[in-house]
Amino acid sequence: MLDEPAAGLDPRARHEVRTMIKQLAKTGVSVLFTSHDMEEVARIADRMVVLHEGQIVAQGAPAELLAQSGCETLDELYFELTDTQEELA
């Protein structure tokens, strides 16, 4: 389990972390990581879960979630899933 594994790293170190995670996954190891960086999620994750106020509001492959929602980016998807009318007012 990794919490924000690439946060604060320079581009080379982020690349190395992504490569390590992908290599682990290829060997059959499950890797669970948390991230607020949706670009990083898109590059690494084969499945994702979006939480809002402690509840799961979406889960699945990033590409599938984008296709189902009609959103173009994971950032846009996150906003759509977590914005409430009260927050927008």
Distance CA 10, CA 41 (A): 17
Residues 41 and 3 in one domain: yes
What angle is formed at CA 83 by the lines to CA 72 and CA 49, rounded to 5 degrees? 65
Residues 55 and 32 in one domain: no
Residues 59 and 29 in one domain: no
Residues 39 and 60 in one domain: no
Q: Which residue has the higher pLDDT, 85 or 23?
A: 23
Residue 52 CB: number of other CB atoms within 10 A? 13
Distance CA 79, CA 89 (A): 15
pLDDT tens digits, one per residue of 41-69: 999 999 999 999 999 999 999 999 999 99
Q: Is 4 a catalytic residue?
A: yes
Q: Which of 4, 16, 39, 64 is catalytic?
A: 4
For residue 37, give its domain range: 1-45
Residues 35 and 3 in one domain: yes
pLDDT tens digits, one per residue of 64-83: 999 999 999 999 999 999 98
The pTM is what? 0.79
Give 69's DSSP letter. Answer: H
Residues 56 and 38 in one domain: no
**Among candidates 77, 19, 7, which has minimal Cα distance to 43?**
19
